[in-house]
Homo-oligomer: A and B are copies of this chain.
Amino acid sequence: MKKAVFILVAMIALSAFSPVQQKQKIIFFGDSITQAGVQPKGYITRFGQMLEQKGLKDKYELIGAGIGGNKIYDLYLRMEDDVLAKNPDIVVIWVGVNDVWHKQSSGTGTDADKFQKFYTAVIKKLQAKNIKVFLCTPACIGERTDFSNQQDGDLNLYSNFIRTLAANNNCTLIDLKKFFLAYNLANNKDNKESGILTTDRVHLNETGNEMVAQEMMKVIIK
């Protein structure tokens, strides 16, 4: 009798704890775009709803770790507290817009070589903890398709850096820049600066959030 009770208790305990053991923790690590990702129609929220539709809701825990204005070295400076301390299984890094944009808006953008050095340091620290790392290219600063958005050149350059970093460090690339351009080439016939996938050239509208969630789903959840 006592034994039966013990077994019952143990089973309850297992059912209570096992989801915790199986639940994969995914941290989305980025800037204001990711900060907005946890809002009702944000891409992280949508990612969660997609998991639910697939019946995978209990298998994943999603954490948004985006802070407005962040550049790669901001991620580096806060990764201990905001990422490593939470023991994630997967980290999705999406950064770069401010590294480029701040060059003109405040004179404090990130040098090309330092961008790569800090980004490498972030990847190495995550991988040293056996965390699976996904890298995203910065989607856009402006949606014009003739490469006449003012930061297009620099943003393409930094996207190339990220593509190389992914290849060199065995990280899966989520090439949002490529997806956004392809979508705009098909859907932005008037060469508008915003309104197709973004509200303001940078931050995602509903279609943009949906697209990002779907592209991430394709490679993160298999």
Residues of A participating in the B interface, judged by any CB pair closer than 8 Å: 73-74, 77, 102-111, 114, 117-118, 121, 142, 146-157, 159-160
Contact = CB atoms under 8 A, between A and B. Distances in A.
Nearest to A149: B153
Contact of A147 (B107, B110, B156): B156
> Max chain B CB contacts within 10 Å: which of A104, A105, A106, A107?
A107
Given A147-B152, A148-B157, A157-B150, A106 B111 contact: yes
12 contacts: A73-B114, A73-B118, A77-B117, A103-B106, A108-B110, A108-B114, A148-B153, A148-B156, A149-B153, A150-B154, A151-B154, A153-B153
A153 B157 contact: no
A74 to B, nearest CB: 7
Given A149-B153, A150-B154, A152-B153, A103 B111 contact: no
How many copies of the chain does the oligomer comprise? 4
A212 to B, nearest CB: 22
A190 to B, nearest CB: 14
Given A148-B156, A156-B146, A108 B106 contact: no
Contacts of A146: 156, 160
Given A104-B104, A107-B109, A77 B114 contact: yes
A60 to B, nearest CB: 32
